[in-house]
Structure 1
Amino acid sequence: MSTQTLPDPAAALAVVRDYHQRTKHRFSAYAHGPGTLDWDAQPAPFRHFDGAAQIALPRLAALAPGSALHAALQRPFAALDEPQPPQPADLASIGALLQLSLGLSAWKRYGPDRWAVRANPSSGNLHPSEAYLLVGGIAGLADGLYHYRPESHALELRASHATTGGGPRLAVLLTSVMWREAWKYGERAFRYCQLDSGHAAGALRYAAAALGWALTEQSQVGSATLALLAGSDRLSEFSAGKRAESEVEEAEILLAVGLSGAPPAPLAVAELQALAASAQWHGVASPIDRQPLCSWPLIGAVAVASRSEDGAVPPATALAPPLPRAPGEAAQPLQPLILGRRSAQRFDHRHHIPLAQFTALLARLQPAAGAPWDVFAGNPRAALLLFVSHVEGLVPGLYLLPRSEAQLAALRPLLAERFRLWPIPGIESLLQLSALEPLALARTARALHCHQELASSACFAVGMLCEFDAALAAGPAAYRALQRECGLIGQALYLEAEVHGLRGTGIGCFFDDPVHELLGLSGTAWQSLYHFTVGRALDDARIETAPAYAD
């Protein structure tokens, strides 16, 4: 997690490709990770900046029932697809944005153990993502950079900026404390941090839509400028402890908020650099892990190799309008549905979902204008491989859901020798690859997902099959973008599962190449980067639940 750069793009790409191959799980051996974990010495799940002024944000529970903001958040979830009057940018709406996306949604307790659940999911519930707000012209907040503290739902003034005048401006900058994931997952942690960035961006996009706001990644802003803007390059303010790698934050993405409801104007790189260079900085970062037991230099190497340069603003991607929902679908209010999202720990293997429900859920995974798909620039790179186990009216087996015509054209000749690719009547784009006897399908799904029962007891599992070589032709930074797209798909799956009374859970542990071999794919043209399962969750009654905040 060094601040050095690789001047040679070819060398950087070689590092990225080597990392991806080296961190694959295989039947013969898992990717390198710690041999043991001391759960009593887990990295700090929350960071704060000692010496930085704090501003408490209004909590959703305190919203007046008759207020416009309260009414906006009680609209049906289906209303996200409809134009909405934007909420004014103030402390209450900013608090709602952050609580709905990155805030705590509950506390859990089992015996002596107590842990927080957040609105955004995370691999292993380790939450490497840290969020910073770039604020200008908003009443109640001096212009500057603010760090979000989800445990207390407060902002910390990390940097003061000179007032430039003009209307209200808001952007969210995400970083990763990669050690939080590396502590448990070793070398594969970089992948999970990128997936988490995609989940967090998706959570922010859904929350912004609830407020009538737009949200767009500023991919023209390179990694060095992001680090300068976030202050993550100010290493003297991040306590090193035993190893610096456990404390530093990797700058990930900048998301501009369209407070009028229209896409925001692109942020100028030179203006951001000037803003950061003249900033007055406050606070020193709290430690994450003073005594890390392991070191994973490969993570630092791939982080450096996959950083992006400042560049031109990419052209906007043309997206089709979202498909209309069925009457009554997604009628649940926005706020409780979003904050009620949970990751399933076990599934009821006897539960089958109706075909119409399955079809409706798949339709929401196709890229369309609006939340969440317009948060990232670029065309979709991930097609979906489906292990369908318990869907009424659908033969158990393997299915393919391309997410663009180009994907279908590229995959069809590669799969045609092994599979017939039968179209499914009434379900556009879904193709049956092969039927499997239920026990054989269960064994296959379980084996490919690191022998996890979740994959075989779910109603269906999803593998995100990405156009790997074609994406990396644009440069090594595309490796992060691929993972983030998969995280975004995962966030959509989480909330759409909730719409239908189901639960989802992301699966980062799967056997990479055996998944490709199942399809007859060789080389690296297509690579599976993330998996997911959906079904009816079985809750553990022994786990106690308490409110996220003591309102």
Structure 2
Amino acid sequence: MSDSPQSPLLDYHQRTKHRFEAYAEGPGQLDWDAQPAPFRHYLGAPRTILPLSAAAFERPFGELDRPPARSATLDLDGIGALFELSLAISAWKSWGPNRWALRCNPSSGNLHPVEAYLLCSGVNGLADGVHHYDPLDHALEGRALLATAPPATPWLAIGLSTVMWREAWKYGERAFRYCQLDVGHALAAVAYAARLLGWQTRPLALPADTLGRVLGCTRTDDFAPARHACTEAEEAEALLFLHAPSGAATAPALAQWLATAQWHGSPSAIDPAPGYRWPIVGTAAGASRCRGATLATPPQWPPLPPVRPAPAAGAVQVIRQRRSAQRFDPARSLPREAFYRLLDATLPRSCAPFDAQASAPAIALLLFVLRVEGLPSGLYLLPRGTTAASLIGATRFPARRPLAADSGCPPHLALEVLAELPLQAVQRLARSLSCHQDIAATSAFSLGMLADLGGVDSDGHLYRERLREAGLIGHTLYLEAEAAGMRGTGIGCFFDDPVHDSFGIDDPHWQSVYHFTVGAALDDARITTAPAYPQRQRELP
């Protein structure tokens, strides 16, 4: 990859690779008592407690690619369910004196850099304007509110920002990568929840400075003084419209809409006394910000058969129970049909979560098949409609071939066998490439996501798009694994170039950006689970 000063993002990506001889720059050790605040509040802002209404919208997870018989109403119940199933707390975990929250949207290290905002107009029971979502209390905090507004067709959108310091505190220079993966997970979580409610998602690409003004991220005087401004700053990331009359979903319309808004609240501190600084994270953010302004026309996805029906688990249940597995049972395997469904669900279609994606697919999957019933262990490739199939060195894999017709694999998957290998050999390779982590080798299968970074040097925002697409795929695998009675785990630590070498990838534009693993989870009996909102259990059915 280029080290040219004209390619700051490619330089960043190269610099932040893990290598066998050294990991990317990070703090080295952590003081967990000084962890950045995982929740932000806007002190003094008007608050609206959202109902815990998700259970009323339950339907089978396998039917999410079809609209419900009746879409949710655009009201507090619908909005409450939207957040409850996307960005809310899903459970509390405890081990001895330690207690921590899990959320519906996964995050690297459970650090949760993503902050969410609701933009709405004409919603009964909610003031027009911009509201910050507080997952700790499942509440909205009014940030920019309009005192009076003429009657209009109701609409709403979800805005996302990141507090990058939450990730940089632990992961150092690699934090920008992880923040974008987390944005992808959050976009997918919102898309799935919206689809459950019968709502459509459509991304609006705004210039970063415009989106920052809309979400209040540029109001630096509102933020408390800190030793380093980078610890408190929020980076404006993405905007998804869920109900979007054509006149509302434009940058000028949003700016005019908020021109008379009154701003409320002061953001709580994230980390007033950081011990480190990682300037390159800010450099990567600056080089990759969106410069244009378009309501994305959904990409023309290739026609594909519907996703195979999943087990009859309810979607609300699947979303709420999503967890990251910490250990896998190597004695259990994954049925072949479930494996095909998991891969099938990652193919881009015009339904959740890929209706939240603004760009064409640019990620292929490199698979370590370990324990899938009826399939030989080895290395496989799922191109996902990209050109990656042509990049795997033929001389490296002389036995490369499409999966046999009698394997039961759907032809449209285009799944290829690169090399059949003994299980122990695949285990050693998967473990070593994923930073020597057993979870990559004791599962049913693990994978690396290979992204096409061509064009990033001329359009830096593509770098964010590629990492977010990886997050979208990861969230799909999380939910599909739960529906199949298994469990997934995202792996952010892997040795970048050794992955490329192992799969015979010579084109520098194709880079490994995220790993994932799926298997039968082993639960730790020492960890106890409590409800997400115990103070509000009386509200639940």
TM-score by length of 2: 0.94
Distance in 1 between residues matched to 2:472 and 2:507, nearest whole Å: 25
Report whether the alignment pairs 1:203 with 2:189: yes
Contact 1:101 1:119 in 2 (8 A): yes
Secondary structure class of the residue paired with 1:218:
strand
Distance in 2 between residues matched to 1:479 and 1:278, nearest whole Å: 35
Secondary structure class of the residue paired with 1:183:
helix
- After alignment, is 128-137 or 314-323 more displaced? 314-323
What does 1:333-372 correspond to in 2, within 5 Å? Answer: 333-372=314-353
Counterpart pick for 1:407 among 371, 374, 387: 387
Contact 1:12 1:306 in 2 (8 A): no
1:109 alignment counterpart:
94
Change in CA separation of 1:95 and 1:477 when aligned onto 2, cut-off 3 Å = same
Report whether the alignment pairs 1:91 with 2:76: yes
Change in CA separation of 1:264 and 1:335 when aligned onto 2, cut-off 3 Å = farther
Change in CA separation of 1:59 and 1:180 when aligned onto 2, cut-off 3 Å = same
1:226 alignment counterpart:
211
What does 1:241-260 correspond to in 2, within 5 Å? Answer: 241-258=226-243
Change in CA separation of 1:52 and 1:314 when aligned onto 2, cut-off 3 Å = closer
Code of the aligned partner of 1:415: G
Secondary structure class of the residue paired with 2:347:
coil
Report whether the alignment pairs 1:332 with 2:318: no
Contact 2:203 2:295 in 1 (8 A): no
- After alignment, is 234-243 or 133-142 more displaced? 234-243
Code of the aligned partner of 2:234: E
Secondary structure class of the residue paired with 2:143:
strand
Secondary structure class of the residue paired with 1:415:
coil
Contact 1:97 1:204 in 2 (8 A): yes
1:213 alignment counterpart:
199
Change in CA separation of 1:12 and 1:305 when aligned onto 2, cut-off 3 Å = farther
Partner deviation per Cα, 1:219-255 (whole Å, 9 max, x = no partner): 2x11111101011001111113211110010000000
Change in CA separation of 1:265 and 1:75 when aligned onto 2, cut-off 3 Å = farther
Partner deviation per Cα, 1:91-111 (whole Å, 9 max, x = no partner): 111000001000011000000
Secondary structure class of the residue paired with 1:214:
coil
Offset, 1:365: 1.1
- After alignment, is 263-272 or 49-58 more displaced? 263-272
- After alignment, is 42-51 or 159-168 more displaced? 159-168
Contact 2:328 2:442 in 1 (8 A): yes
Contact 1:269 1:310 in 2 (8 A): no
Distance in 2 between residues matched to 1:414 and 1:13, nearest whole Å: 28
Contact 1:13 1:476 in 2 (8 A): no
Distance in 1 between residues matched to 2:483 and 2:497, nearest whole Å: 33
Change in CA separation of 1:416 and 1:11 when aligned onto 2, cut-off 3 Å = closer
Contact 1:214 1:264 in 2 (8 A): no
Change in CA separation of 1:258 and 1:538 when aligned onto 2, cut-off 3 Å = same
Report whether the alignment pairs 1:18 with 2:18: no
Distance in 2 between residues matched to 1:51 and 1:209, nearest whole Å: 34
Code of the aligned partner of 1:298: I
Counterpart pick for 1:534 among 512, 518, 529: 518
Code of the aligned partner of 2:102: V
Counterpart pick for 2:474 among 490, 509, 534: 490
Distance in 1 between residues matched to 2:157 and 2:101, nearest whole Å: 26
Contact 2:129 2:258 in 1 (8 A): no
Contact 1:256 1:264 in 2 (8 A): no
- After alignment, is 307-316 or 40-49 more displaced? 307-316
Distance in 2 between residues matched to 1:325 and 1:227, nearest whole Å: 37
Distance in 2 between residues matched to 1:101 and 1:82, nearest whole Å: 19
2:275 alignment counterpart:
293
Contact 2:204 2:293 in 1 (8 A): no
Contact 2:248 2:254 in 1 (8 A): no
Contact 2:202 2:298 in 1 (8 A): no
Contact 2:10 2:456 in 1 (8 A): no
Task: Kindly report the root-mean-square deviation, in angstroms, between the aligned alpha carbons of the 2 structures.
Answer: 1.8
- After alignment, is 488-497 or 239-248 more displaced? 239-248
Which runs of 4 or more aligned residues in structure 1 lie more than 6 Å from their structure 2 counterparts after TM superposition?
263-266
Code of the aligned partner of 1:215: T
Distance in 2 between residues matched to 1:330 and 1:163, nearest whole Å: 46
What does 1:268-283 correspond to in 2, within 5 Å? Answer: 268-283=250-265
1:416 alignment counterpart:
394
Q: Give the percent of matched residue pairs that are identical in Structure 1 and Structure 2.
A: 51
Code of the aligned partner of 1:484: R
Distance in 1 between residues matched to 2:97 and 2:281, nearest whole Å: 33
- In structure 2, list runs of 5 or more residues that go unmatched: none
Counterpart pick for 2:222 among 227, 237, 242: 237
Secondary structure class of the residue paired with 2:488:
strand
Secondary structure class of the residue paired with 1:207:
helix
Offset, 1:520: 1.9
Secondary structure class of the residue paired with 2:201:
strand
Distance in 2 between residues matched to 1:333 and 1:454, nearest whole Å: 27
Contact 1:507 1:531 in 2 (8 A): yes
2:126 alignment counterpart:
141
Distance in 2 between residues matched to 1:482 and 1:266, nearest whole Å: 28
Distance in 2 between residues matched to 1:13 and 1:351, nearest whole Å: 49
Counterpart pick for 1:445 among 401, 413, 430: 430
Offset, 1:60: 3.0
Partner deviation per Cα, 1:276-316 (whole Å, 9 max, x = no partner): 44321101100001110000000111111111113344443
Counterpart pick for 1:50 among 12, 27, 43: 43
Secondary structure class of the residue paired with 1:228:
helix
What does 1:165-184 correspond to in 2, within 5 Å? Answer: 165-184=151-170
Distance in 2 between residues matched to 1:388 and 1:474, nearest whole Å: 36
Contact 2:37 2:269 in 1 (8 A): yes
Distance in 2 between residues matched to 1:540 and 1:94, nearest whole Å: 34
Code of the aligned partner of 1:378: S
1:60 alignment counterpart:
53
Counterpart pick for 1:480 among 464, 478, 491: 464
Contact 2:43 2:266 in 1 (8 A): yes
1:394 alignment counterpart:
375
2:85 alignment counterpart:
100
1:193 alignment counterpart:
179
Partner deviation per Cα, 1:70-102 (whole Å, 9 max, x = no partner): 1xx221111211122221111111000001000
Change in CA separation of 1:523 and 1:93 when aligned onto 2, cut-off 3 Å = same
Contact 1:322 1:370 in 2 (8 A): no
Code of the aligned partner of 1:183: W
Change in CA separation of 1:319 and 1:430 when aligned onto 2, cut-off 3 Å = same
Change in CA separation of 1:395 and 1:549 when aligned onto 2, cut-off 3 Å = same
Secondary structure class of the residue paired with 1:380:
coil
Secondary structure class of the residue paired with 1:539:
coil
What does 1:515-534 correspond to in 2, within 5 Å? Answer: 515-534=499-518
Change in CA separation of 1:400 and 1:274 when aligned onto 2, cut-off 3 Å = same
Secondary structure class of the residue paired with 1:358:
helix
Distance in 2 between residues matched to 1:520 and 1:93, nearest whole Å: 49
Offset, 1:351: 1.0
Contact 2:391 2:507 in 1 (8 A): no
Counterpart pick for 2:489 among 492, 498, 505: 505
